[in-house]
């Protein structure tokens, strides 16, 4: 018997699904790129299938947390008969140094990529010191 035959013959009655199947949730760690310059840090996180309504970004006590739930749409005229991953959950946490001003974080979500810009505090920015002769 081929895999295709087994899939076609599986029970599709929703009542036959176990509670474990319904609560099964995969938590993924999103891939990130972090860029730092004298002005601050820019963090890019890959969050495919995540909408703004299903995204939560929090900062508290020097910790930045990203939590998101992906949406896996099913076309109206089709019925899902097998899924190996159901709407993955994304979670990632970062320690944020006191050098950064977490009250001025800017966040933007576009095409499944979250962009966070975290500026440095003015007193933490590098500055040039003039040296006098004498």
- 17-26, 38-47, 106-115: segment of lowest average pLDDT: 17-26
Q: What's the rounded Cα separation, in Å, for the pair 25 and 27?
A: 6
Please, are residues 116 and 93 in contact by the beta-carbon 8 Å criterion? no
Give the contacts of 12 (CB within 8 A, at least 6 positions apart).
79, 81
User: Is 58 inside any structural domain?
Assistant: yes
User: Is 8 inside any structural domain?
Assistant: no
Give the contacts of 129 (CB within 8 A, at least 6 positions apart).
none
Cα 93 from chain centre = 10
User: Is 116 inside any structural domain?
Assistant: yes
Q: Which domain holds residue 95?
A: 26-73+84-123
Total domains in the fold of the chain: 1
User: Is 16 inside any structural domain?
Assistant: no
User: Is 36 inside any structural domain?
Assistant: yes
pLDDT tens column, 60-85: 988 999 999 988 777 788 887 777 76
User: Is 79 inside any structural domain?
Assistant: no
Residue 12: pLDDT over 50:
no
Please, are residues 87 and 69 in contact by the beta-carbon 8 Å criterion? yes
Residue 41: pLDDT over 80:
yes
Q: Scanning the structure block, which residue is given the tokens 């938590």?
A: 27
* pLDDT score at 19: 45
Say which CATH number the domain at 43 has: 2.60.40.790
Q: What percent of the chain has pLDDT over 70?
A: 79
User: Is 92 inside any structural domain?
Assistant: yes
Range 83-95 burial, b when 16+ CB lie within 10 A, else e: eeeeebebebebe
pLDDT tens column, 76-110: 888 877 777 677 899 999 999 999 999 999 999 99
Full-model pTM: 0.71
Query: Where would I find the H helices in the chain?
Result: 3-9, 19-23
* pLDDT score at 33: 97
């Amino acid at each position: 018997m081929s895999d295709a035959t087994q899939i076609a013959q599986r029970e599709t009655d929703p009542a036959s699904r176990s509670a474990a199947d319904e609560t099964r949730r995969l938590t993924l760690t999103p891939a990130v790129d972090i860029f730092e310059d004298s002005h601050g840090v820019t963090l890019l996180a890959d969050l495919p299938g995540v909408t703004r309504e299903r995204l939560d970004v929090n900062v508290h006590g020097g910790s930045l947390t990203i939590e998101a739930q992906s949406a896996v749409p099913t076309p109206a005229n089709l019925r899902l008969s097998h899924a190996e991953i159901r709407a993955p959950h994304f979670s990632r946490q970062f320690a944020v140094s006191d050098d950064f001003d977490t009250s001025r974080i800017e966040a933007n979500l576009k095409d499944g990529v979250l962009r966070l810009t975290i500026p440095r505090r003015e007193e933490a920015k590098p500055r040039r010191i003039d040296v006098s002769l004498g």
